[in-house]
């Protein structure tokens, strides 16, 4: 059993597809162990994406992730990290496989509908930044 962090980004929340995205996880063997709607301050977004702070798109990424509410989820299941990445599709929705979340709900590489942890170690760090232990059930 593994845990990963999923975030429904501001573009997908604005489109009203929280339920459709959450349903993809539930119908594909990922249990929602925690769920929270929130809006990040600039500081929270910068901390969350600190691994990207030298990348040219960092400022745009922070601006986008603070532009509206997000929905964070802890997903639990066998191979949850890889399974979530598979359901998400490629970072650039134009390159995402048909039937993936990004192919179906994302518009661009910036507004790409979802975030997913890329390793079990990063998942544990990311989950701890957003959820207290008692919120994960």
Q: Are strands 31-38 and 70-77 parallel, antiparallel or unpaired?
A: antiparallel
At 73 the three-state DSSP class reads strand
- 58 beta partners: none
The verdict on whether 115 is a catalytic residue reads yes
Please tell me which residue in 3, 9, 24, 115 is annotated as part of the active site: 115
Task: Residue 80: name the closest of 48, 123, 46, 111 by CA.
Answer: 123
Site track 16-55 with ligand ATP (rule: CB under 6 A), x = hit: ------------------------------------x---
Instruction: Kindly indicate which of the ranges 15-23, 41-49, 65-73, 118-126 contains the residues binding Mg ion, using the contact rule CB under 5 A.
Output: 118-126
Residues of the shown chain interacting with ligand ATP in the complex, contacts defined by CB under 6 A: 52, 57, 61, 91, 109-110, 112, 115-116, 118
Which residues are known catalytic residues? 115
């Amino acid at each position: 059993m593994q845990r990963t962090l999923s975030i429904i980004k501001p573009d997908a929340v604005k489109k009203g597809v929280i339920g459709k995205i959450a349903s993809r996880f539930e119908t594909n063997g990922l249990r929602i162990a925690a769920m929270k709607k929130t809006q990040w301050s600039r500081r929270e977004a910068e901390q969350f994406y600190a691994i990207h702070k030298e990348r040219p798109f960092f400022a745009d990424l922070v601006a986008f992730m603070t532009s509206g509410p997000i929905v964070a989820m802890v997903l639990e299941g066998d191979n949850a990290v890889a399974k979530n990445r598979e359901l998400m599709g490629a970072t650039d929705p134009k390159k995402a496989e048909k039937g993936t979340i990004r192919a179906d709900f994302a518009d661009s590489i910036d507004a790409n509908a979802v975030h997913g942890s890329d390793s079990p170690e990063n998942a544990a760090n990311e989950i701890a930044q957003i959820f207290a232990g008692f919120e994960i059930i």
